[in-house]
Structures are given as structure tokens and as C-alpha cells.
């Protein structure tokens, strides 16, 4: 293998193979080439240029002010640091309001080095997912505590707690898969619900605050390093810097804990 990491570069079809083979995936957010390079060396499988950058890099209260230009800039930076990990980029607030807008933004991200575009929600987003996938843009869906819905939710609150909300999430998960999504991020939902959705789908799920039985886990870089981003720290956040001993060690410790199933434990999950 002639990548600097010596590992085979991830491709979109490998996501489904990983699920079929029971290989858990470790994903982190990154916003620049230096951290991305360290993640690549540490064996992180998937790297996301998340619109969380609005909160952890730009110091804002929500992800809503993040622009397509912001994500395109950080995607180009992160891409230069990766040789093996698969790069995903977030469609920021309203960049996916119409299929045409989403295609314009996603095209910029793919041209900057991303392999997939991620978008939040189902509903009218199903049409957007279909439109992108038909035009060769692989899509990662994102359901549950979708941060771009913070105004409707009235805060960053765990979703899917009652039976009606749980069955709605099940239906949405099935619908994004049927629309053509290749991956699904489940955020801020009870562990049992995420486990049920994961078992019901052919596409892999990546959890964040969604319990241990997803097909992979994602954390925001700053949370994993224990940095105070000025926001309330959610229950699922774990600082891996202490046990890892260095930044790259923290990434390795996270990847190992995801693969051996020790993260997240009950203390970092919602019942
Ligand atoms: O924006 C982001 O970083 C995300 C992850 C938390 C999944 O969407």
C-alpha cells in the first residue's frame, strides 16, 4: 500500500462492507490539516468537517451561522492532511434547503477533497438525498438531535424518548436509507433506540450520544481532547487525552475503544 499510513484508503463501498463484516468504525471531526494528519496516522477511519466548527472553532452558540464557504475552506485544509481516512463534509444550515442548492454546495466539497456530503433530517431532505445520490454525490444522513433544529427543539435535547418519537425516528432512518444514503449519523438518542435502528438497516450507523450498539462512533475533536469550548459538556463526551498521553495517542485510544466496544459505556450513553 503506498499511502503514508500504509493502509488501504477508505472508499464509500467499504462502509457497507465494514457493517457486513462487523468492523466498527471510528470517526472524528477535524478542521485543519495538522489534526487531520494525526488522525490519519492514528487509524481514524472517517473524518468529518462538521458544522460544529461554528461552535468549537468560531466560538458561536450554534451551528446556524456556518456558511458553505466555511465548510469548503476547512474541507480543503483537512483533505491535505488525509491519505487513508474517508472525508465527509457537512451541508450547513439551509445549504440543503433545495436540491439545487445542495448540489452546488456538495460539488464544492467533493472538488475540495470530500468523498461524501452529510445532511441533517428527513422529510423534504429525502428528495435532496435522492437528487444528490443520482448525481454521484454519496450522502451521509444525520438524525436524532440534529443541531440545525436547535430552535425547534428549544435547545440541544435528547430525541426519541417516547414511543411516538422513537417510531418516527425508525421510519426516518428507513426512509433515508431508501433515498440512497450510504451512512447514517445518529445523535443524542437512547441506546436501545439506536441499537434497534442499527439492526434494522443495511447501511452503517455512526453514533454520538447514541449508545454502544451503533456500527461506529464519532466525537468532536475538541471534546475528545477535553478542551473547554464554552458550552455545556454533554454526557456522551469523553476526554481521551489523559489515557492517550498525546494528541495522536488520544486518537489511537479513541479508535481502539470504539473497535473493542468499550466506548461509549453506560456513563456516556442515554437510557
Ligand atoms: O457538526 C458535527 O461535528 C457533527 C458531528 C457531531 C456528527 O455533525
Atom of ligand 1 nearest to the CA of 206: 7
Q: Which of 19-28, 64-73, 146-155, 224-233 has the lowest mean pLDDT?
A: 224-233
Q: How far is residue 230 CA from its own chain's centroid?
A: 21
Q: Please report, for the chain, the start and end positions of each structural domain, with discontinuous segments joined by +.
A: 12-268
Atom of ligand 1 nearest to the CA of 51: 1
Residue 70, pLDDT > 90, answer: yes
Mean predicted lDDT score pLDDT of the chain: 97
Mean pLDDT for 127-138 is 98
What is the pLDDT, as a whole number, of residue 126?
98
Atom of ligand 1 nearest to the CA of 63: 1
Contacts of 87 (CB under 8 A, 6+ apart): 46, 47, 48, 49, 75, 78, 79, 113, 114, 115, 116
Report whether the peptide linkage leading into residue 232 is cis, meaning its omega lies within 30 degrees of zero. Answer: no
Helix (H, G, I), strand (E, B) or coil at 84: coil
Instruction: Provide the pLDDT confidence category of residue 125 given band limits of 50, 70 and 90.
Output: very high
Residue 268, pLDDT > 60, answer: yes
Mean pLDDT for 193-208 is 98
Q: Which of 88, 118, 120, 146 to mutate to test the pocket of ligand 1 (most atoms within 8 A of CB)?
A: 118
Residue 1, pLDDT > 80, answer: no
Cβ-contact 105, 117 below 8 angstroms: yes
Q: What residues does ligand 1 touch, defined as CB less than 6 Å away? A: 29, 48, 50-52, 90, 142, 185, 187, 208, 218, 220
Mean pLDDT for 189-218 is 98
The CATH homologous superfamily to which domain 12-268 belongs is Phosphoenolpyruvate-binding domains (3.20.20.60)
Residue 222, pLDDT > 90, answer: yes
Cβ-contact 253, 227 below 8 angstroms: no
- Quote the strand ranges of the chain, DSSP E: 25-29, 46-49, 86-90, 116-120, 139-144, 183-187, 205-208, 216-219
Mean pLDDT for 237-259 is 97
Instruction: Provide the pLDDT confidence category of residue 3 given band limits of 50, 70 and 90.
Output: confident
What is the pLDDT, as a whole number, of residue 176?
98
What is the pLDDT, as a whole number, of residue 4?
87
Indicate which residue's Cα is closest to atom 5 of ligand 1. Answer: 50
Indicate which residue's Cα is closest to atom 3 of ligand 1. Answer: 50
Provide the annotated active-site residues: 187
Q: State the alpha helices, DSSP H only, in 180-270.
A: 191-200, 221-224, 241-244, 247-259
**How far is the centre of ligand 1, averaged over its atoms, from the C-alpha of 120 (Å)?**
10
Mean pLDDT for 220-239 is 92
Residue 2, pLDDT > 70, answer: no
Indicate which residue's Cα is closest to atom 8 of ligand 1. Answer: 50
What is the pLDDT, as a whole number, of residue 208?
98
Q: Which residue has the cell 437528487?
A: 131
**How far is the centre of ligand 1, averaged over its atoms, from the C-alpha of 223 (Å)?**
11
Beta bridge partners of 142: 120, 185
What confidence tens digit (pLDDT) does each residue in 79-124 have? 999 999 999 999 999 999 999 999 999 999 999 999 999 999 999 9
Instruction: Provide the pLDDT confidence category of residue 231 given band limits of 50, 70 and 90.
Output: confident
Distance CA 48, CA 78 (A): 9
Indicate which residue's Cα is closest to atom 6 of ligand 1. Answer: 220
Alpha-carbon torsion angle 111, 112, 113, 117, nearest 10: -80
Helix-strand-coil percent breakdown of the chain, rounded to 5?
A: 40, 15, 45
HSE-CB at 59 with a 13 A cutoff on CA atoms is 0
What is the pLDDT, as a whole number, of residue 100?
98
Instruction: Provide the pLDDT confidence category of residue 204 given band limits of 50, 70 and 90.
Output: very high
Q: Which of 189, 220, 233, 238 to mutate to test the pocket of ligand 1 (most atoms within 8 A of CB)?
A: 220
Residue 177, pLDDT > 80, answer: yes
Contacts of 182 (CB under 8 A, 6+ apart): 12, 15, 16, 116, 138, 139, 140, 203
**How far is the centre of ligand 1, averaged over its atoms, from the C-alpha of 2 (Å)?**
30
Mean pLDDT for 200-222 is 98
Q: Which residue has the cell 488520544?
A: 250
Distance CA 77, CA 94 (A): 23
Record the pTM.
0.97
Mean pLDDT for 226-241 is 90
**How far is the centre of ligand 1, averaged over its atoms, from the C-alpha of 147 (Å)?**
8
Q: Which three cell numbers stand for residue 45?
A: 477511519
Amino acid at each position: 500500500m503506498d499511502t503514508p499510513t500504509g493502509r488501504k484508503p477508505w472508499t464509500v463501498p467499504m462502509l457497507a462492507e465494514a457493517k457486513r463484516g462487523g468492523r466498527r468504525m471510528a470517526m472524528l471531526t477535524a478542521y485543519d490539516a495538522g489534526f487531520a494528519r494525526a488522525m490519519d496516522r492514528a487509524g481514524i477511519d472517517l473524518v468529518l468537517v462538521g458544522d460544529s466548527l461554528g461552535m468549537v472553532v468560531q466560538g458561536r452558540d450554534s451551528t446556524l451561522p456556518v456558511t458553505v464557504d466555511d465548510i469548503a475552506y476547512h474541507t480543503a485544509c483537512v483533505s491535505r492532511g488525509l491519505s487513508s481516512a474517508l472525508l465527509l463534509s457537512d451541508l450547513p444550515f439551509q445549504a440543503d434547503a433545495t436540491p439545487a442548492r445542495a448540489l452546488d454546495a456538495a460539488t464544492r466539497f467533493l472538488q475540495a477533497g470530500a468523498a461524501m456530503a452529510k445532511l441533517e433530517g428527513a422529510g423534504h431532505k429525502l428528495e435532496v438525498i435522492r437528487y444528490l445520490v443520482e448525481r454521484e454525490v454519496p450522502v451521509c444522513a444525520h438524525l436524532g438531535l440534529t443541531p440545525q433544529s436547535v430552535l425547534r427543539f428549544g435547545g440541544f435535547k435528547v430525541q426519541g424518548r417516547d414511543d411516538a418519537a422513537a417510531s418516527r425516528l425508525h421510519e426516518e432512518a428507513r426512509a433515508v436509507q431508501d433515498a440512497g444514503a450510504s451512512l447514517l449519523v445518529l445523535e443524542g438518542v437512547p441506546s436501545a433506540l439506536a441499537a434497534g435502528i442499527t439492526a434494522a438497516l443495511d447501511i452503517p450507523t455512526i453514533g454520538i450520544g447514541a449508545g454502544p450498539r451503533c456500527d461506529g462512533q464519532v466525537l468532536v475533536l475538541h471534546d475528545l481532547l477535553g478542551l473547554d469550548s464554552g458550552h455545556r459538556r454533554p454526557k456522551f463526551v469523553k476526554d481521551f487525552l489523559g489515557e492517550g498521553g498525546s494528541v495522536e495517542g488520544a486518537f489511537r485510544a479513541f479508535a481502539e475503544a470504539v473497535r473493542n466496544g468499550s466506548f461509549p459505556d453506560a456513563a456516556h450513553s442515554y437510557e
